[in-house]
Chains A and B, each alone.
Chain A
Amino acid sequence: MSQGTGWLDRHVTGYAEWLIRWRWAVVAVSLVIALAAAAGGQFLGFSTNYRVFFSPQNPQLQAFESLQRIYVREDNISIVIRPHQGNVFQPGLLRDVRALTEDAWKVPYATRVDSLTNFQNSTAEGDDLAVRDLVPADSPLDAADLVRIREAALAEPLIRDRLIAPDARTLSVNITVTLPLKSETEVPESMAYARRLVDGFRQAHPEVRVALTGSVALNHAFSESAEHDIATLVPLMYGVLLLVMGVLLRSIAGTVATLLVIGLSAASAMGLAGWLGILLTPPSVTAPTIILTLAIADSIHILITMLQNMRRGADKRTALVESLRINFEPVFLTSLTTFIGFLSLNFSDAPPFRDLGNITAIGVAAAWIYSIGFLPALMAILPVRVKQRPIGYAGAMDRLADFVVGRRRAVLAVMVAVVAVLVALVPRIELNDQFVNYFDRSIPFRQDTDFAMEHLSGIYQAQWSLPAPGPGGISDPDYLARVEDFADWLRAHDIVVHVQTITDIFSRLNKNMHGDDPAWYRLPQERDLAAQYLLLFEMSLPYGLDLNNQINVDKSATRIVATLENITTNELRSLDDAAAVWLSENLPSAAGTTASGPFVMFAYIAKRNIEGMLTGTFAAFVLISLTLMAALRSVRLGLISLVPNLVPAFMAFGVWSVLVGQIGLASSVVTATSLGIIVDATVHFLSKYQRARRTSGASAEQAVRYAFSTVGTALWVTTAVLIAGFAVLSLSTFEINASLGQLTALTLFMGIVADFLLLPTLLLLLAGRGGRDSESTLPTVQQAAE
């Protein structure tokens, strides 16, 4: 190797000997540092709001926040009730739904409760306007009364498909909750209360299915899913890794030391996350699992070399020093590239991924420090016994090398064809972030929301704040007619279940004012009349059931809310685009208005994150490539390495587009994170190739064979460990994590394929054309150790 490496070797040897001398102190100091870092774990909490997925700069979040400041900030809890048999118009059931509606006002932070029973039913009473609950407290609920309620409810566009299904078999009680957003206990408090209400109702009505959904339930599901994952995935990961170590190391001391290193790395990273005040979310709780996987590689490299040396007859101390000397640089390099890869997640728009990146990067750095400090010091202390035996399982690798060298052109041609086909398939992937599907069916929120969507209406909504021309403009007949047209236009879409619009209230009041004559169910034709109807109606409404959630403060805009079928975010984006076109053509005062709401935010989240991560991935790619060039001391090899580093992610996405077809938020970060990991294999392969060519003057062919036989086995073994680790993530209850795990595992697999089939053929063919490596004339200082 070059002079620089010789200098480094001497220093590392010195360091290793110092470490062994001060082994007890190093172990003690490491443990103290780890404990101090891990103590931050006490500050860790789980975020309980879906809004954490959006950065403060996110335009969809900003639009939604503004909308909520204009009208009212609202989340909701929806209690969906469906008798197993028959319809909901049963006296006992309605009476208890009424009681449930009353009790629901006591849900913490509830500001409004809407249900069939407290619907403000306006009717003409002689010459006057009567406004009262559809099912008042003194309702007899006899046969005639039930007919009255049923007819009124099912005919009313304000509640049909929203609070009651058209088939009268399902109803819902919708609790509007205005969270102060000051503490993470707000959502659990509201949910706990709502669950108690629901449990009580279930006990009284075993003949009824009761489901609990809404955005508060969604918020709660995020924390429940995260807590569930951290409780199941981390132990599972330890189990998998323990198995791997048993097979690879066959050393109790080595296994114990490695377990300690990865455990300390994960604990330090999570503890520092606590000190930094990071709130855990489903993506960021995968950090310990990922750290465990990544951290093990460092230890294994160091231990395997040490144990190999001992099996060859070296004493422990010599074997340890030698292992550190050989592994110091590659372990540093691979940690650095992985570190860079995860740090690039800071370009993501979604803060949970930034947290994931930062926590994992901290863990990777911690793993590096513990692996070169704590691990060798501990190994110097622990008794290590090995059976002396020759090692040699390179047979398979030699055959692979023969194959690649012998059929280089065919292999390259096939690889290029495969890559081209897979890359061509990538654009077929549809971006979809239906947040309900983020959760697997073991999470109650998913079951309940699916049930609600099937029988009544869903959680997916899009809302528009439609400006009128000037203050009070919402009473303008022309504006009202156009808003009604927009509502009708929305209703004409099959994917739209319900549209809530103020125009229905105006039509209804007009009818009431004309003796409930159905012929007058139409918009008032004069502005003053409309305004005065509204004033009259507003003065008749009880606490909490006002129109402030639909009309802004100076009556210059109304909010229209469309509840949607279980559609993909792609379909929502199309609806949003079409609505924007319709509005600019037909409602000039609302031109340029786009849809808003949580579902809309998620509809654009993947795209926005991909845009952010394009920069991040590019930056990581440049930094990692520069690192490689510096490490290999060759621009030429650095450039060749671009191919096997870049291609695997494309190949993985291509396979994904065939197997799965849809991808959400997870897609945005996979390339960057996997890049930092797959590059490790390339580094190892190229450094061996380089070493052979420079130190022994080997031909490209010999160098490729040398690389295969020296690191081939180690590479596929470590890749297998990493794939197993990321495969554990696919068991997450959170779809983004599962996809992230599966896609990363797939990318790592493609990475090893590219390193074994594409990289050597490229080296052979490019070296064949260009002759000897132009930089191989550099002076060689010493022979490679292996």
Chain B
Amino acid sequence: MNNLTTAAIAGIILCFSAIPTAAETPEEKGRWIAEQTDRRDLGWGDSEVHLTMTLRNREGQSSIRKLSIASLEVDEPKLGDRSLTLFDEPRDIEGTAFLSHTRILDPDDQWLYLPALKRVKRISSQNKSGPFVGSEFAYEDLVSQEVERYTYKYLRDEPCGDRTCFVSERFPVYEHSGYTRQVTWVDHTDFQPRKVEYYDRKGDLLKVLELVEYRQYLGKYWRAHRLEMVNHQTGKSTTLAFSDYSFKLGLNDGDFRKSRLERLR
């Protein structure tokens, strides 16, 4: 019995060792949750995925954009991941490619290759708060969510679907954000974001993002396959549907250089 009790206590202690003690401040706990999410996503290397964006307005009209995204994990301080986005549809922007080297706090480096002009143009990217190709997603919603981009504050626990979630606030630290704060729902089990609320400069609710259809890759990395963003001020919405994830394709720095853009076709 004694042994069993000890084992049980040890088990409980082990289970909860990942959970911060009550002595921690809400700020520390919020950051700790973000670190857990980040930690679970280390080492995926590189990936490719197809994306279908569906844009809808209040009149019920919709429009579809198709693109594929190649990403490269960058594990350096102050730098975020790199990504190369290739537009497939609609036809008149087919072959347009968007390359981005994200930085955690400073403005990102961004280039766009315009096939009709056969030229690469650098984008002044102070403005990462604008809508991404007319959708309800801002560019800043789509880039990798590095821990250092925000300060945090844990609020409470709350059921989310059949799981339990940490609910925390986070406040953008980088310049030119369109938001004053975001509220995130991150589940207890896998530390994946399930829902994000975005609050505008007035502090009013602007958008709500729900992330569903999580699937695990390489036995470790979780990816949501469906992102639903609803703008509560305009009634517009955008759905992102991801398909055909592939990992460890052997992509490297060279595949994410400006000079690569022109040779993509």
A540 to B121, CA, bound (A): 11
Contact A70 B57 (CB under 8 A): yes
Measured CA separation A552–B234 after assembly (Å): 13
Contact A535 B234 (CB under 8 A): no
Q: How far is the CA of A554 from the CA of B64 in the complex (A)?
A: 8
Please give me the residue from chain B that is nearest to A530 by CB atom.
B92
Contact across chains for B202 and A108 when beta carbons are under 8 A apart: yes
User: Nearest chain B CB to A131's CB is how many angstroms away?
Assistant: 6
A538 at the interface (CB under 8 A from B): yes
Q: Which interface residue of B98, B138, B200 has the most chain A CB atoms within 10 A?
A: B200
Known contacts A527-B92, A528-B92, A539 near B235 by CB under 8 Å: no
A72 at the interface (CB under 8 A from B): yes
Render B50-73 as a binary contact track against A, CB cut-off 8 A, 1 for contact: 000001111101110000000000
Tell me whether A742 is interfacial, beta carbon within 8 Å: no
A interface, how many residues as a size bin?
35 or more
Question: Shortest Cβ distance from B236 into chain A, in angstroms?
Answer: 7
Task: Tell me how many residues of B have a C-beta within 8 Å of chain A.
Answer: 48
Instruction: Please indicate which of the listed interface residues A68, A111, A528, A555 has the most CB atoms of chain B within 10 Å of its own CB.
Output: A528
Residues of chain B in range 97-120 having any CB-CB distance to chain A below 8 Å? 98, 110, 112, 114-117, 119
Contact A471 B90 (CB under 8 A): yes
Closest to A105 in B: B201
Q: Which residues of B contact A546 (CB under 8 A)?
A: 130-131, 134
Q: Are B93 and A531 in contact (CB under 8 A)?
A: yes
Q: Are B117 and A111 in contact (CB under 8 A)?
A: no
Closest chain B residue, CB of each to CB of A524: B116
Which residues from A are CB-within-8-Å of B178? 542-544
Closest Cβ neighbor of B110 among chain A residues: A539
A475 to B116, CA, bound (A): 13
Across the interface, do B90 and A472 meet the contact criterion of CB distance under 8 Å? yes
Partner of B234, one of A72, A105, A533: A72
Chain A residues near B126 (CB, 8 Å)? 132, 542
Write out the residue numbers on chain A whose beta carbons fall within 8 Å of the beta carbon of B131.
538, 541, 546, 548
CB-defined contacts of B130 to chain A, threshold 8 Å: 538-543, 545-546
Residue of A nearest to B177 (CB): A543
Counted as pairs of residues, one from A and one from B, with CB atoms less than 8 Å apart, the total is: 149
Expressed in whole angstroms, the Cα–Cα distance for A492 and B93 within the complex equals 35
Which one of A76-84, A122-130, A580-588 is at the interface?
A122-130
Q: Does B215 contact A (CB under 8 A)?
A: no
Q: How far is the CA of A611 from the CA of B32 in the complex (A)?
A: 68
Q: How far is the CA of A536 from the CA of B122 in the complex (A)?
A: 9
B17 at interface (Cβ–Cβ under 8 A)? no
B91 at the interface (CB under 8 A from A): yes
State in angstroms the CA–CA spacing of A531 and B59 once bound together. 24
How distant is B235 from chain A, measured CB to nearest CB, in Å?
7
Q: Is the CB of A542 within 8 A of B234?
A: no
Complex Cα distance, B58 from A552, in Å, reads 11
Contact with A along B68-87 (1 / 0, CB 8 A): 00000000000000000001
Q: Which residues of B contact A228 (CB under 8 A)?
A: none
- B202 with A105: CB separation less than 8 A: yes
Q: How far is the CA of A130 from the CA of B121 in the complex (A)?
A: 10
Interface string of A79-111 (1 = CB under 8 A from B): 000000000000000000000000001111111
User: A110, A535, A553: which contacts B61 (Cβ < 8 A)?
Assistant: A553
Given that A472-B92, A553-B62, A554-B63 are known contacts, is A541 also in contact with B115, CB under 8 Å in the complex? no
Question: Is the pair B124, A69 in contact by a Cβ cutoff of 8 Å?
Answer: no
Q: Is B139 an interface residue when CB atoms closer than 8 A count as contact?
A: yes
Contact A552 B61 (CB under 8 A): yes
Contact residues in A for B236 (Cβ distance below 8 Å): 548, 553
| Chain B residues positioned under 8 Å from A66 (CB to CB) | 59
A238 to B235, CA, bound (A): 49
Contact between chains at B57 and A552 (CB < 8 Å): yes
Residues of A within 8 A of B260 (CB): none
Q: Verify if B8 is at the interface (C-beta below 8 Å from A).
A: no
- What residues on B are CB-neighbors of A105 within 8 Å? 200-202
Tell me how far the C-beta of A107 lies from the nearest C-beta in chain B, rounded to whole angstroms: 8
Residues in A whose Cβ lies below 8 Å from that of B122: 127-129
In the complex, what residue of chain B is closest to A545 when comparing beta carbons?
A: B130
Task: Flag whether A522 is at the interface (Cβ < 8 A).
Answer: no
B132 contacts the other chain (Cβ, under 8 Å)? yes
Minimum CB–CB distance for B86 against chain A, Å: 13
B202 touches A539 (CB 8 A): no
C-beta contact mask, A543-561 vs B, less than 8 Å → 1, else 0?
A: 1111110011111000000
> A469-480 toward B: CB 8 Å interface, digit per residue (1/0)?
001100100000
Q: How far is the CA of A130 from the CA of B110 in the complex (A)?
A: 12
Does the CB pair B59–A128 fall under 8 Å?
Answer: no
Q: Are A529 and B117 in contact (CB under 8 A)?
A: yes
* Bound Cα distance from A472 to B93, whole angstroms: 10
Question: Once the chains bind, are B63 and A131 in contact (CB under 8 Å)?
Answer: no
B184 contacts chain A at the CB level, 8 A cutoff: no
Closest chain A residue to B234, Cβ basis: A72
A residues in contact with B144, CB < 8 Å: none
Q: Is the C-beta of A195 less than 8 angstroms from some C-beta in chain B?
A: no
B5 sits at the interface (CB 8 A): no
Interface flag for B9 (CB, 8 Å): no
Whether B133 lies near A111 (C-beta < 8 A) is: no
Docked pose: A438 CA to B121 CA in angstroms: 52
Q: Residue of A at shortest CB range from B179?
A: A543
Interface flag for B129 (CB, 8 Å): yes
Docked CA distance A546–B137 (Å): 12
Asked if A491 is an interface residue, CB under 8 A from chain B, the answer is no
- CB atoms of A178 and B96 under 8 A apart: no
Contacts of A180 in B (CB 8 A): 233
B123, CB-defined interface residue at 8 Å: yes
CB distance from A635 to the nearest CB of B (A): 56
CB pair B117–A513 under 8 Å, yes or no, is yes
7 additional A-B residue pairs with CB within 8 Å, beyond A539-B132, A553-B57 = A69-B58, A106-B201, A532-B114, A540-B124, A544-B178, A546-B131, A548-B134
Q: What 4 pairs between A and B have smallest CB-CB spacing? A: A543-B178, A554-B63, A543-B129, A531-B92
8 example contacts (A-B, Cβ-Cβ < 8 A) are as follows: A107-B202, A128-B121, A128-B123, A131-B124, A132-B124, A471-B90, A541-B127, A546-B130
* Residues of B near any A CB (own CB < 8 A): 55-59, 61-63, 87, 90-93, 96, 98, 110, 112, 114-117, 119, 121-127, 129-134, 138-139, 176-178, 200-202, 204, 233-236
